[in-house]
Structure 1
Amino acid sequence: MERFGLVGLPNAGKSSLYNALTGGGALAAPYAFATKDPNIGVARVPDERLDQLSAMSQSKKTIHASVEVVDIGGLVEGASQGEGLGNKFLANIREVDAIVFVLRAFEDDDVPGPSDPLEHLRVVELELALADLETVEKRKAAVERQAKNDRSLADDVEALSIAEAALSEGRPLYRAGLKPDVRETLAPYFLLTNRRVLAVVNVGEDAVDQADEAAARVEAEFNDAGDNVEVIGMCVQLEAEAAAISDPDERAEMLEGFGLGEGALFRMVRSAYHLLGLRTYFTTGDKESRAWTFFEGSTAPECAGRIHTDFQRGFIRAEVIQWDELLGLGSWNAAKDVGKIRLEGKDYIAQDGDVMEFRFNV
């Protein structure tokens, strides 16, 4: 399961976004540090393709893909020197796959703090970079000592030196133009800025129609980040209120009424999947229909391994058809009867939307 960590200044809307994504009950209060301990929840990934496949197969269970969401305390300027809650709680998101910046872009006299998302971005990036710098300086000193007796650590020393130079300037690593091999060498050190970022620009209820404009302003600030960052705009408060409605039709009606379209989860997950290079394949039958995530470029055996390592180890072949073609034919057996199910071997590169069955022997 992929993991996302929410980061932002107090009162930016992190806990409201957490509630919108997970349906959780995180305290969202108009004062700083309402969140002290991390909130951890699971968000179901909506996918109409899976719903249609499940209906076709008359599946007893429908299992959507899921992502884990971690909401931590608000970050303030000077956290690296102990201001606010300090930055020790950042350890709670060191092992996430991507970080979600929640940047406030609304004014409210009852909610303290800056309303300029670029000010939020400046503080968050600086504090994460300083937290990483502290980690790098400690690890670099230790690795340099070990490298005197272990030449295989030379690449680590070099990568940590490159990271230290960028972070010393207050520059997060995703903006530092690091080569892929350097970022890969740094991966085991779980640096906060050595990962992809999704920035959510949180506008007020009276500015929903300006969300894209606010997002574009922030996106312009990331012109040196390449494909490491994606930016989306939304009104988190309205999204959280919609998520609290249990009836799907009523929820859809509210989203439509406020011009929110599909809702936060659809847009966030689509952006996050694109950011991380994630794709989806399906399995379907009368017992269950299920969505599975895989990384773009994965082979059929690697996809099988997402179900169980035995499937990958003993992989023989995959039976494959695209989801929409299968729906058009009406059933797996009907697709087989007309020869539309393809047999693919170990070198097959899975495609988003594939429906697959695996043959294996261990």
Structure 2
Amino acid sequence: MEAGIVGLPNVGKSTLFNALTCSQSAQSANYPFCTIEPNEGIVNVPDSRLETIAHYFQPQKIIPAALKLVDIAGIVKGASVGEGLGNKFLSHIREVDAIIQVVRCFEDEDVTHVSGKVDPVSDIDIIETELMLADMQTLDNSLGKAQRTARSGDADAKKRVAVIEKCQAHLNDEQPLRKMALNKEEQKIVNGFGLLTAKPVLYVANVDEDDLSGEGPLVMSLREFADKTGAQVVPVCAKIESEIAELDENDRKEMLESVGLAEPSLAMLARAAYQTLGLQSYFTAGEKEVRAWTIPIGATAPQAAGVIHTDFEKGFIRVEVYGIDELVEYEKESAIKQAGKMRIEGKEYIMQDGDICHFLFNK
């Protein structure tokens, strides 16, 4: 799964993305980001639980979970009708699973704002409006075909018509589709249309150097807006991140301490994006490696096994599971088993974030 980074002109989107990609060149474990193409990269998801598990196994290597980020072309008002790079923007955002919107939350007379003033909520409204207009167009184009098929008595087409009309009514109330209540069947139909406002959103507040914790009035207005929609806000100073990315590991650590940051903002951003995508991690552990595997929240044990290899899912028998708390308490898997804390779960087991697993399967 992947998340797309979007934003209006001059909000710091490119500065942030370039800082992330540049940071990989310094070969620091704190900045595990690599560029796939000029506008794509894979970023590791920092997870302190990996270090805890590794302490007891002393593995040859540690492999964290990872996700793909895409730097999507900037948007301007009118993108839904082709203004600026509108068509390119919309086509790219259809391909991602979540949206990371960089919002300007700093004042700088030398950096002109496209709207003439810095207003985070207004910036969000511009992009949200363009996405809603694009969704309306998609639904309008789909409705006629669905209605014609429905008139022939096709039951599935009738359901599509009902869902399309429900979505249209929601958008006409100027509400993004991610806020609309859907059952599983309706959600499946909506997913088939690739609707933009149905995607989850994470807001990145690009803050000034004197507001790294994001407590200033601009960020607070963004937080208030995000709270109403259930979205997260991550404060990031793209300027400082770009400077940190240029430093070697020791100098980075010193600079982070000097500005009062416990870790790079990349770490917070990666974890928040992971959550926004509806993902969680389980672990496998041994002397060779300790590894985090990415699965959707709600995945079953066989589905989780299939992430390692499809044969694991096909031949799944059972999974042996324990938690990090048990590992810390008993220190060895043999002791966990002797204490009766190693659980045996079957095909119906719903994986929990942080499970440490051994899968048994038929070859």
Contact 1:126 1:171 in 2 (8 A): no
Separation (CA, whole Å) in 1 of partners of 2:74 and 2:305: 40
**Residue 235 of structure 1 aligns with which residue?**
237
Within-5 A mapping of 1:1-362: 2-23=1-22, 39-113=39-113, 114-149=117-152, 150-175=154-179, 177-181=180-184, 182-211=186-215, 214-222=218-226, 224-225=228-229, 227=230, 229-247=231-249, 249-336=250-337, 338-362=339-363
Separation (CA, whole Å) in 1 of partners of 2:252 and 2:98: 28
Contact 1:130 1:170 in 2 (8 A): no
Query: How far apart are residue 213 of structure 1 and its match?
Result: 5.0
Q: Deviations over 1:197-255 (max 9, x none)?
A: 11111111233244465433113224653x3x2223222222333244442x4433322
Contact 2:63 2:290 in 1 (8 A): yes
Task: Out of 145-154 and 279-288, give the one that drifted further.
Answer: 145-154
Query: How far apart are residue 195 of structure 1 and its match?
Result: 1.6
- Equivalent residue of 1:290, what SS? strand
Query: How far apart are residue 38 of structure 1 and its match?
Result: 6.8
TM-aligned CA distance change 1:313 to 1:22, over 3 Å: farther
Query: How far apart are residue 24 of structure 1 and its match?
Result: 6.5
- Equivalent residue of 1:208, what SS? coil
Q: CA RMSD in A?
A: 2.5
Query: How far apart are residue 193 of structure 1 and its match?
Result: 0.5
- Equivalent residue of 2:197, what SS? coil
Residue identity in the other structure for 1:90: L
Aligned residue pairs, count: 346
Structure of greater relative contact order (alpha carbons < 8 Å, 6+ residues apart) = 2
Q: Deviations over 1:265-291 (max 9, x none)?
A: 332233334334322110011222110
**Residue 31 of structure 1 aligns with which residue?**
none
Contact 1:278 1:294 in 2 (8 A): yes
Residue identity in the other structure for 1:232: V
Separation (CA, whole Å) in 1 of partners of 2:119 and 2:126: 11
Separation (CA, whole Å) in 2 of partners of 1:327 and 1:218: 40
TM-aligned CA distance change 1:134 to 1:260, over 3 Å: farther
- Equivalent residue of 1:232, what SS? strand
Contact 1:104 1:201 in 2 (8 A): yes
**Residue 28 of structure 2 aligns with which residue?**
none
Separation (CA, whole Å) in 1 of partners of 2:183 and 2:66: 28
Task: Out of 268-277 and 75-84, give the one that drifted further.
Answer: 268-277
Structure 2, gaps ≥5 residues long: 25-36
Query: How far apart are residue 90 of structure 1 and its match?
Result: 1.9
Q: TM-score, length-normalised on structure 2?
A: 0.86
TM-aligned CA distance change 1:352 to 1:246, over 3 Å: farther
TM-aligned CA distance change 1:316 to 1:246, over 3 Å: farther
Q: Deviations over 1:267-317 (max 9, x none)?
A: 223333433432211001122211012233333222212212221221111
Contact 2:56 2:332 in 1 (8 A): yes
- Equivalent residue of 1:94, what SS? helix
- Equivalent residue of 2:95, what SS? coil
- Equivalent residue of 2:198, what SS? coil
Structure 1, gaps ≥5 residues long: 26-36
Q: Deviations over 1:107-130 (max 9, x none)?
A: 222222142212211111111111
Q: Deviations over 1:101-150 (max 9, x none)?
A: 11111122222214221221111111111122222211222322333332
- Equivalent residue of 2:100, what SS? strand
